[in-house]
Structure 1
Amino acid sequence: MNAEKQNITQEEFELIERYLLNTMSETEFISFNETLKTDSLLKEKVENCRITLQAIEEQSLIEKFDTFHQEITLENNSKIISLSDNVKQVKWYKKYTVAASIILLLGLSGIWYLSSTQNPKQLYNKYFNVDPGLPTIMSDNTSHFKFYDAMVNYKQGEYIIAISKWEALLKNKPQNDTLNYFIGVAHLANKNEDAAIKFLDNVILNSNTTFKNEAYHYLGLAYLKTNNIELAKKNLTFSTIDNSKALLSELND
């Protein structure tokens, strides 16, 4: 790992901390998530911070403080936080309310850990119900006809056929929230979580979408299915759907 990858600025640390502690606003979360998709270095720094915090969390309270204090080196006039190659220590060079931060992190252990009674797969199966879709309406409009023709396939559980037809329409309307939403849900129903996330992300980036709550709900489920509990909770937080609130409550227990 080179020197650049070992270092994280104070500003980056504070940004990543907000991300990991789920204190970002919806706008900041969406923007940060988009950046993570293209910035591999930032993604690595986030992962390093997450692993470090997990290591701290796994020990007893006294051990956490002792180990953490042993691994912290305070140096004057420095604004860089260094992460070691084995990502087992965090060094920051300001008095950054260390004790308070650790206590806060320990109190939020649910962000990274689910007990055996909250198995992600079980919770996913409990809360996932495919969107029933839109009423199929006959129309003389060619594009409308093709859309609802695919909707018939979707309702019959023929997700691959529906996706193929909708993606053909999406080529002319790549930002269409309805197409992106149903393609995403169809992929999720077809057990393709990564593809589902891609299309559902397009929906929440559309400020005018009417599928906002639904998209966040299914994004939460998609991340839950991939065992990414942190992102599952973040997305569920932005959905007002009752099932989203119920699932989030179980994840936080």
Structure 2
Amino acid sequence: MKDNSNNISEELLETIERYLNDSLSSIELKDFERLLDIDEDFKAQVDDVKTMLFGIETQSLKEQLDDFHKEMPQTDVQKKIVSQKVRFLNYSKIAAAAAIIIAVGSIWFFSGSPNEKLYTKHFKPDPGLPTTMSSTDNFDFYDAMVNYKHADYDLAIEKWRVLSESQPENDTLNYFIGAAYLANKDADKAIPFLERATASEDDFAFLNDAYYYLGLAYLKEGNIELAKEQLNLSNTDSAKEILSKLTD
């Protein structure tokens, strides 16, 4: 794969980092994700940065970033020329993509049902758990978590499903398998696993999130009554916001 990371301005790199860290505003996130959909070069740049930043989530992140900055031209004149050139190339590309967004915006806005728009607006994959690879405890679980956080949902599901065969009632496994299926745009397969997670009689740490994602899964499937039922059981702000829209 072609390495595009050295062609990314510092400002754009920071924006991509904020996207990967779930710290963009809702408006920024919408524009960013629509740009990903229509600009293959931009998507490739994001993928390169994602690979560089996440890796296996070790100290190599800092080393890679240090190497990246060391490879930049050293003289002030060179820095200025490269900075202007990179900014021009990237902003020209973004400006062109923005024009396409404006052109198709009205089509996007009027397409799809209100509930589908509501789902799209509020759904974001669960960010997952820190991958404490230094520990040998639950190595297989966290190994799959690395795949999940790389958005390699198929492989994460495959690994977690193997674990669930011997631990079918494990709430955490059921929750993340369901979350992975939903992130993989497969709400129908997500629902049974999320239902098992919400059926827990123990003090399950992700219970509110499980209710929320189960409600979203039902919303995506068009089952509004079950969506409302599950969202009502979640105390998350997003669940309350969706409910207010569903009852308007």
Please report the TM-score for the alignment, with normalisation by the length of structure 2: 0.53
- Counterpart CA distance in 2 for 1:117 and 1:223 is 16
TM alignment of 1:197-208, pairs within 5 A: 197-208=191-202
Cα RMSD after superposing both structures: 1.7
Give SS of 2:216's match. Answer: helix
Superimposed CA distance per residue, residues 185-229 of structure 1 (whole angstroms, 9 cap, x where no aligned partner): 000111111110000000011111221110110011001101111
Q: Contact between 1:159 and 1:187, CA under 8 Å: does it hold in 2?
A: yes
Map 1:44-55 → 2, pairs under 5 A = none
Q: Partner of 1:155 in structure 2?
A: 149
Q: Is the contact made by 1:118 and 1:250 (CA closer than 8 Å) also made in structure 2?
A: no
Number of the residue aligned with 1:196: 190
Aligned to 2:5: none
Question: What letter corresponds to residue 248 of structure 1 in structure 2?
Answer: L
| 1:122-161 alignment runs, 5 A limit | 122-141=117-136, 144-161=138-155
Which residue among 161, 164, 167 is the counterpart of 1:170? 164
| TM-score (norm: length of structure 1) | 0.52
Distance in 2 (alpha carbons) for counterparts of 1:192 and 1:206: 23
Question: What's 1:225 paired with?
Answer: 220
Aligned equivalents of 2:126, 2:157: Cα separation in 1: 14
User: Which 5+ residue runs of structure 1 have no aligned equivalent?
Assistant: 1-115
Give unpaired runs (5+ residues) of structure 2. Answer: 1-110
Q: Could you tell me the percent identity over the aligned residues? A: 55
1:235 alignment partner AA: Q
CA distance in 2, matches of 1:202, 1:217: 14
CA-to-aligned-CA distance 1:87-125 (integer Å, 9 cap, x gap): xxxxxxxxxxxxxxxxxxxxxxxxxxxxx9971110000
Q: Which runs of 4+ in 1 moved over 2 A?
A: 139-142
Number of aligned pairs? 137
| One-letter amino acid of the counterpart of residue 241, structure 1 | T
Looking at structure 1, the residues matched to 163 and 200 of structure 2 have their Cα atoms a distance apart, in angstroms, of 18
Aligned partner of 2:141: which letter? F
Match of 2:61 in 1: none
The residue number in structure 2 matching 1:71 is none
Where does 1:32-181 land on structure 2 (aligned, <5 Å)? Answer: 119-141=114-136, 144-181=138-175
For the residues of structure 1 that align with 2:133 and 2:162, how far apart are their CA atoms?
A: 19
Partner of 2:82: none
After TM superposition, give the deviation of residue 141 of structure 1 in Å.
3.0
Separation (CA, whole Å) in 2 of partners of 1:231 and 1:237: 10
What is the match of residue 178 of structure 2? 184
Distance (Å, rounded) in 1 between the aligned partners of 2:217 and 2:120: 11
In structure 2, the CA distance between the partners of 1:205 and 1:194, relative to structure 1 (3 Å rule), is: same
Task: Please tell me the residue identity of whatever aligns with 1:161.
Answer: L
Letter of the 2:173 partner, please give it: L
Cα distance change, pair 206–250 in 1 and its aligned pair in 2 (3 A) = same
Corresponding residue of 2:210: 215
CA distance in 2, matches of 1:166, 1:243: 27
- CA positional deviation for 1:184: 0.1
Cα distance in 2 for residues equivalent to 1:212 and 1:230: 20
C-alpha displacement of 1:158:
0.3
For residues 150-190 of structure 1, give each alpha carbon's deviation from its aligned partner in whole angstroms, at most 9, with x where no partner exists.
00000010000000001111111111111000000000111
